[in-house]
């Protein structure tokens, strides 16, 4: 068992850090204030070739695994940009997985190169206001019309829809059946036609620079050539992206938490009260040491889940455990970082309050901490389903 990063993986971490090195605290503080999408950051990442890190080489990607993508996302999230940095590129990194696995050769050649090069931004529309995490209950419908479909319905919490060219959309193409509730859902990758899709931004607690939205579809047309795979099998296709997404989110949480601990330790070593650094007090030391330890454990859990996924082995339990552990550890680290700064922890100029606001979203998305525990209870412990 070797815990040392290979030279190639060290080069990825170093290369990503160099690519994004120009985007420091001042850049992210300004994006938090003005809410502007971090276009310059996104373009730098795309120019560095990082968007295609785990997509096939045949279409311009690097052909690497989720392990390498997780190391990249941890580095980005831990750079000071937190979820604003990670979420600006997150969808292009894991979102096209269904295209790779189930798209036709023509679709791959049409869609993957522009996504990898950063010429397309994409959003992913699954969640609906009256369905929540019960995806079988989504009501947005794509009805057959000639050689395509017409879409009517509503989605919510769709990230980056304000700036996206393309939308990956899960919609119902056949009525729901109680004996097979997730059948009849189809997956599309289409132009986001703003003439027939109204997008409204949701004001939220953190990650102001990366928008979250409601979308109303009123007759948006999608050609049949933009449907991924078989009609009615879309739910199966998106399931394949859930474990990679949880692993990447776990890596992002670890990155944010480690950034928070570094900032807090630096401040505690410099801040002098009663003629001694406040970091000399165990009341400051112990919570930060506990956070460092929890983050180290979460990182190892994340790397194990990524290793299993890249080997083609079952990793649902490990991916959910990594997401749970990393988010718990990351949030606690941010909370302790704010406390370690005292009153200045509440000030924007010290950045830790922003890290805490941004990591809160990972307690809720892409799946809540409670549902991650439900999965572990059922699959690892053999307990009955509770919902």
Class at the top of the CATH hierarchy for domain 7-117: mainly alpha
From CA 315, how far away is CA 375, in angstroms rounded? 12
Convert the pLDDT of each residue in 98-115 to its tens digit.
Answer: 999 999 999 999 999 999
* Sequence-distant (≥ 6) Cβ neighbours of residue 255 within 8 angstroms: 73, 74, 75, 76, 77, 78, 79, 86
From CA 378, how far away is CA 317, in angstroms rounded? 9
Count of residues for the chain? Answer: 387
From CA 39, how far away is CA 289, in angstroms rounded? 36
* Exposure on the CB side of residue 60, measured as CA atoms within 13 A: 20
**What pLDDT, on the 0 to 100 scale, is given for residue 91?**
87
**What pLDDT, on the 0 to 100 scale, is given for residue 318?**
98
- Position 299 pLDDT exceeds 80: yes
For the chain, what is the radius of gyration of the CA atoms?
Answer: 21
**What pLDDT, on the 0 to 100 scale, is given for residue 93?**
87
From CA 363, how far away is CA 373, in angstroms rounded? 12
**What pLDDT, on the 0 to 100 scale, is given for residue 95?**
87
Whether residue 139 contacts residue 130, with contact meaning beta carbons closer than 8 Å, is answered with yes
Whether residue 82 contacts residue 61, with contact meaning beta carbons closer than 8 Å, is answered with no
**What pLDDT, on the 0 to 100 scale, is given for residue 133?**
84
Homologous superfamily (CATH) for 122-231? Butyryl-CoA Dehydrogenase, subunit A, domain 2 (2.40.110.10)
Tokens encoding 71: 């190391």
Count of CB atoms situated within 10 Å of the CB of 132 = 13
* The dihedral sign for the CA sequence 322, 325, 331, 337: negative
From CA 50, how far away is CA 68, in angstroms rounded? 10
- Position 1 pLDDT exceeds 80: no
Convert the pLDDT of each residue in 143-188 to its tens digit.
Answer: 999 999 999 999 999 999 999 999 999 999 999 999 999 999 999 9
**What pLDDT, on the 0 to 100 scale, is given for residue 38?**
98
- Position 117 pLDDT exceeds 90: yes
- Position 94 pLDDT exceeds 90: no
Convert the pLDDT of each residue in 238-268 to its tens digit.
Answer: 998 899 999 999 999 999 999 999 999 999 9
* Exposure on the CB side of residue 221, measured as CA atoms within 13 A: 6
Domain locations in the chain? 7-117, 122-231, 239-379
From CA 205, how far away is CA 210, in angstroms rounded? 12
H or E segment at 214? strand 212-223
Average pLDDT, the chain: 97
**What pLDDT, on the 0 to 100 scale, is given for residue 132?**
85
- Position 298 pLDDT exceeds 80: yes
From CA 138, how far away is CA 127, in angstroms rounded? 8
pTM for this one? 0.97
Homologous superfamily (CATH) for 239-379? Butyryl-CoA Dehydrogenase, subunit A, domain 3 (1.20.140.10)
Convert the pLDDT of each residue in 43-93 to its tens digit.
Answer: 999 999 999 999 999 999 999 999 999 999 999 999 999 999 999 998 888
* Exposure on the CB side of residue 167, measured as CA atoms within 13 A: 26
- Strand, helix or coil for residue 240: coil
| Residues in a beta bridge with 125 | 169
């Amino acid at each position: 068992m070797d815990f040392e990063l290979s030279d190639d993986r060290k080069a990825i971490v170093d290369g990503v850090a160099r690519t994004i090195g120009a985007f420091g605290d001042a850049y992210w503080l300004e994006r938090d204030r003005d809410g502007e999408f971090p276009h310059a950051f996104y373009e730098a990442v795309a120019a560095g070739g990082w968007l295609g890190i785990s997509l096939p080489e045949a279409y311009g990607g690097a052909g690497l695994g989720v392990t390498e993508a997780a190391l990249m996302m941890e580095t980005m999230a831990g750079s000071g940009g937190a979820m604003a940095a990670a979420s600006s590129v997150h969808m292009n990194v894991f979102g096209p997985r269904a295209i790779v696995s189930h798209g036709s050769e023509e679709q791959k050649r049409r869609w993957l190169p522009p996504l990898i090069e950063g010429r397309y931004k994409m959003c992913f529309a699954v969640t609906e206001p009256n369905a929540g995490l019960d995806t079988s209950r989504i009501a947005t419908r794509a009805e057959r019309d000639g050689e395509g479909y017409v879409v009517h319905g509503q989605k919510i919490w769709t990230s980056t829809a304000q700036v996206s060219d393309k939308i990956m959309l899960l919609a119902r193409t056949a009525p729901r059946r109680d004996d097979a509730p997730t059948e009849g859902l189809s997956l599309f990758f289409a132009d986001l036609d703003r003439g027939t899709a109204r997008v409204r931004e949701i004001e939220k607690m953190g990650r102001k620079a990366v928008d979250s939205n409601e979308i109303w579809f009123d007759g948006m047309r999608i050609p049949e050539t933009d449907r991924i795979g078989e009609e009615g099998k879309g739910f199966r296709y998106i399931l394949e992206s859930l474990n990679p997404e949880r692993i990447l989110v776990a890596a992002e949480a670890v990155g944010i938490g480690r950034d928070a601990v570094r900032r807090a330790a630096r401040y505690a070593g410099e801040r002098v009260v009663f003629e001694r650094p406040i970091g000399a007090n165990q009341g400051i030391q112990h919570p930060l040491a506990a956070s460092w330890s929890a983050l180290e454990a979460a990182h190892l859990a994340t790397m194990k889940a990524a290793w299993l996924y890249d080997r083609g082995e079952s990793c649902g339990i490990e991916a959910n455990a990594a997401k749970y552990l990393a988010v718990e550890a990351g949030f606690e680290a941010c909370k302790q970082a704010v406390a370690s700064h005292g009153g200045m922890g509440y000030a924007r100029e010290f950045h830790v309050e922003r890290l805490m606001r941004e990591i809160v979203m990972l307690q809720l998305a892409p799946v809540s901490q409670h549902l991650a525990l439900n999965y572990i209870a059922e699959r690892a412990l053999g307990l009955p389903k509770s919902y």
